Amino acid sequence: MTYCVGIETDEGLVFAADTRTNASLDDVRVHRKLHVFEYPGERVFVVMSAGNLATTQLVVSRLRRDAEDPSAPRSLRTFRHLFEVAEYVGEVLVASQVQAGGDGQHNGVSTQATLILGGQIAGERPGLYLVYPLGNCIAASPETPYLQIGESKYGKPILDRILRPETALEDAARCALVSLDSTIRSNLSVGMPIDLALVRAGDLRVSQQMRLEGDMPLYSEIHETWSRKLENAVRTLPRFPWEPALPESGAPAASALPPLPPRRGPARQDPGDQSAQQQ
């Protein structure tokens, strides 16, 4: 499985994706799911993928082939509007699924894939689209300024609570990392490392990009700080009638609040649950 999230704010776009493609206990594989198509000063696109790995790799290869061919009648470089690019990417996705398995299934394995496409073309605002296996797409909106693919449920709460169009780009990036961290915590099929990319409005290039490993100080600090702050928040919630009241300052007294039980790790999964063909 996988988990990818794209965020659109007034300041630009955030993209974050895990890299695990197989979750068998003795066969953990890593593949990039965040792909950059950058033409500085002209346009920039980021594509994130979930689904059949053969299909998504074929989609990315076809997009790069067309973009690098000056004689190609249609490519990432020929369209004037981002919604036209989204339609084109949807057509490439459908054609790739047909080649991979015909009707979306091949020997019992799904060949379908779902994509998040985001970027900016000179003269337009940045935009973000979710491209479905059927080739149709929807855009992010001010009411829901993010899009998810893959194992979306575990990382959704922080996005709903925090993200607004006016959210600062770096704060949106931190939300994306916490969303990934929460999902990794709860689901074995999503794992490190995490790829992160930021596209600031008007830059027409990837403004910042990095890969976060589990042992990196930055990621470790985000992980530990978020866990510690959540525990402290639980301790400062309103008391039940039978509990002693919190001190006036609002800080819990150490003697009045017993430590929280240790956190449980993700449940083990059947090694056969995840196919190496799924991204």
Query: Residue 275 corresponds to which tokens in the numbers above?
Result: 């196919």
Would 263 be classed as within a structural domain? no
Could you tell me if 158 and 175 are in contact, meaning their C-beta atoms sit under 8 angstroms apart?
A: yes
Would 140 be classed as within a structural domain? yes
Q: Output the DSSP codes for 15-32.
A: EEE--EEEEETTEEEE--
pLDDT tens sequence across 83-127: 999 999 999 999 999 998 765 555 667 899 999 999 999 999 999
Q: According to the model, what pLDDT value does residue 267 have?
A: 44
Query: Averaged over 212-227, what is the pLDDT?
Result: 96
Would 44 be classed as within a structural domain? yes
| Average per-residue pLDDT for the chain | 88
Has residue 169 got a pLDDT over 60?
A: yes
How many domains is the chain partitioned into structurally? 1
What pLDDT band is residue 188 in, cutting at 50, 70 and 90? confident
Would 228 be classed as within a structural domain? no
Query: Averaged over 179-192, what is the pLDDT?
Result: 94
Query: Averaged over 247-255, what is the pLDDT?
Result: 53
Q: According to the model, what pLDDT value does residue 275 have?
A: 41
Burial class (CB in 10 A: 0-12, 13-18, 19+), 247: exposed
What pLDDT band is residue 246 in, cutting at 50, 70 and 90? confident
> Pairing state of beta strands 27-30 and 20-24?
antiparallel
What pLDDT band is residue 258 in, cutting at 50, 70 and 90? low
Q: According to the model, what pLDDT value does residue 101 have?
A: 76
Has residue 273 got a pLDDT over 70?
A: no
Among the listed residues 94, 166, 82, 66, the one whose alpha carbon sits nearest the alpha carbon of residue 123: 82
Would 158 be classed as within a structural domain? yes
Q: According to the model, what pLDDT value does residue 102 have?
A: 61
Has residue 271 got a pLDDT over 50?
A: no
Would 250 be classed as within a structural domain? no
Q: According to the model, what pLDDT value does residue 100 have?
A: 84
Q: According to the model, what pLDDT value does residue 249 have?
A: 58
pLDDT tens sequence across 25-81: 566 788 999 999 999 999 999 999 999 999 999 999 999 999 999 999 999 999 999
Q: According to the model, what pLDDT value does residue 202 have?
A: 97
Among the listed residues 86, 67, 102, the one whose alpha carbon sits nearest the alpha carbon of residue 135: 86
Residue type, 171: D
**For residues 251 and 259, what is the distance between their CA atoms, to the nearest angstrom?**
15
Q: What is the CATH number of the domain that holds 76?
A: 3.60.20.10
Would 260 be classed as within a structural domain? no
What pLDDT band is residue 245 in, cutting at 50, 70 and 90? confident
Would 61 be classed as within a structural domain? yes
CA atoms within 13 A on the CB side of 178: 23
Task: Quote the domain boundaries for residue 167.
Answer: 3-219
